[in-house]
């Protein structure tokens, strides 16, 4: 009983980023490898991430396995995982566009976007695009917007038709 309680407390902030209306998730391509690596789309064994609130509306999106965080590759386009250095390029916001779907925006105002042709993610301009929509869910399948800094009015409204389309 005591161990169950500790496990629950330790994992309460772990989330999955699921594509809107699909079974694909954002995944760390090699979670046990050191160094920089790409984020990929997967539907088996999805990666869990911890959302570390910085207190100013921003988050570090961190792997609990190796403590690496979301970052941007040197050309400010590819979404990668690297060790946390506290730089602006590692700060993100989760912005809800409706009660279920959110976009993931970096500190440069770019949205995490799934690229089907490469099965990876890039940071591109935010637009009304189904490839930029995610559900933020906990281990037990619940929406986790309760502890994410709420930002609802600073992102252009997505077209409802795109939200309802499958992105994969």
Specify if 9 maps to a domain: no
Identify the CA nearest to 48 among candidates 68, 59, 63, 60: 63
Identify the CA nearest to 48 among candidates 34, 62, 29, 33: 62
Specify if 143 maps to a domain: no
Residue written as tokens 């309760």? Answer: 146
> Residue 93 maps to which CATH number?
2.80.10.50
- Give the pLDDT of residue 32: 84
Distances (CA, A) of 122 to 3, 11, 14: 39, 28, 23
- Give the pLDDT of residue 33: 85
- Give the pLDDT of residue 155: 45
The HSE-up count of residue 92 (CA atoms within 13 Å, CB side) is 24
Specify if 123 maps to a domain: yes
Task: Note if the pTM is more than 0.85.
Answer: no
26 has which bridge partners?
A: 41
- E-assigned strands of 30-115? 37-42, 49-53, 59-62, 68-72, 79-83, 92-96, 102-106, 110-115
Specify if 163 maps to a domain: no
Residues (pLDDT < 50) of the chain are 1-12, 142, 144-147, 149-168
Provide the residue range defining the domain that includes 108: 14-135+149-154
Specify if 161 maps to a domain: no
């Amino acid at each position: 009983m005591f161990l169950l309680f500790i496990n629950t407390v330790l994992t309460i902030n772990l989330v999955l980023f699921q594509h809107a209306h699909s079974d694909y998730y954002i995944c760390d391509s090699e979670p046990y490898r050191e160094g920089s690596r790409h984020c990929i789309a997967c539907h088996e064994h999805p990666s869990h991430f911890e959302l570390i609130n910085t207190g100013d509306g921003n988050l570090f999106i961190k792997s609990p396995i190796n403590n690496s965080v979301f970052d941007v590759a040197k050309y400010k386009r590819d979404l990668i995982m690297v060790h946390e250095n506290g730089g602006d390029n590692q700060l993100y916001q989760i912005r809800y566009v409706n009660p279920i779907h959110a976009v993931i925006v970096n500190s440069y105002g770019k949205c995490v976007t799934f690229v089907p042709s490469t099965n990876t993610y890039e940071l591109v301009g935010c637009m009304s695009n189904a490839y930029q929509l995610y559900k933020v869910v906990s281990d037990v399948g619940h929406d986790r917007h309760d502890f994410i800094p709420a930002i609802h009015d600073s992102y252009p409204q997505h077209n409802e038709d795109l939200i309802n389309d499958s992105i994969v």
